[in-house]
Amino acid sequence: MKQKIIDNIKTIFYALVIAIVIRSLLIQPFYIPSSSMEPTLLVGDRIFVTKYTYGYSKHSFPFSLGPIKKRIFFNEPERGDIIVFKTPSDNRTDYIKRLIGKPGDKIQFINGNLYLNNVEILKSKVKSKMEIHCGGEVLKTKLFEEKIKDNKYLTAYNNFGSYQNSDEFVVPDNHYFFLGDNRDCSKDSRFLTSVGYVHKDNLVGKAQFIFFSSDYSIGSIFSFWKWNKSIRFDRFFKKII
């Protein structure tokens, strides 16, 4: 009996070690709790993030308790990547946004248009009218496709509001500038006191694909009689771009 208990404890211990190694070094699931990345990511999406894409830092480990002081095996992220990072304000909260500016880049909004290094980001209108969420509200907005080099992605915003025109943001060394795809409803690097520029050590990993999605406003996962409406089967295993 005693040996059986010891064997069970060993099994649980080994399983925990394997789980921690996979979560820290390979891949980690994340839940999308807000609408700041609509239409790319919806509230209720569950995604896989690869931890090895940009190398490792202490934030690669659970509770940011890694033994690493600085990032190792670093690979430079690409503009347009969707990245999970720890917010600079507390080095604890996970945010997910799209990378727009790299070290030395200049970012500015002029008449509602996004400029990178004094060049307007190419965009084309996909929809003149669409609805998008912002917390508990529904906003009427426009849908655009933007292009940075070879990366094309969808963003939603109106050509007015607090960021129709902005000061010029200059990204410091070893830092990055992020924006949400839901431009009118995203707390991101535009807000220097709460998010601002993100240090490379705060990068957690790259969002790769959605493995599950459910609209919890319709019903919980336990409400199986509502699965035909609440579970978004069309988003399963969808690559994130």
Ordered structural domains, the chain, with CATH: 2-239 (2.10.109.10)
pLDDT for residue 118: 95
**Residue the block writes with tokens 């709460």:** 194
Active-site residue among 24, 34, 35, 36? 36
Q: Using H for helix, E for strand and C for coil, what is the string for the chain?
A: CHHHHHHHHHHHHHHHHHHHHHHHHHEEEEECCCCCCCCCCCCCEEEEEECCCCCECHHHCHHHCCCCCCCECCCCCCCCCEEEEECCCCCCCEEEEEEEECCCCEEEEECCEEEECCEECEEEEEEEEEEEEECCEEEEEEEEEEEECCEEEEEEECCCCCCCCCCCEECCCCEEEEECCEHHHCCCCCCCCCCCCEEHHHEEEEEEEEEEEECCCCCCCCCHHHHHHHECHHHCCEECC
Residue 89 designated active-site: no
Residue 97 designated active-site: yes
pLDDT for residue 159: 65
**Low-confidence residues in the chain, pLDDT < 50:** none
CA dihedral 83, 88, 90, 96 (to 10 degrees): -20
pLDDT for residue 12: 76
pLDDT for residue 170: 98
Active-site residue among 51, 97, 200, 206? 97
A 10 A CB-CB count for 182 gives 24
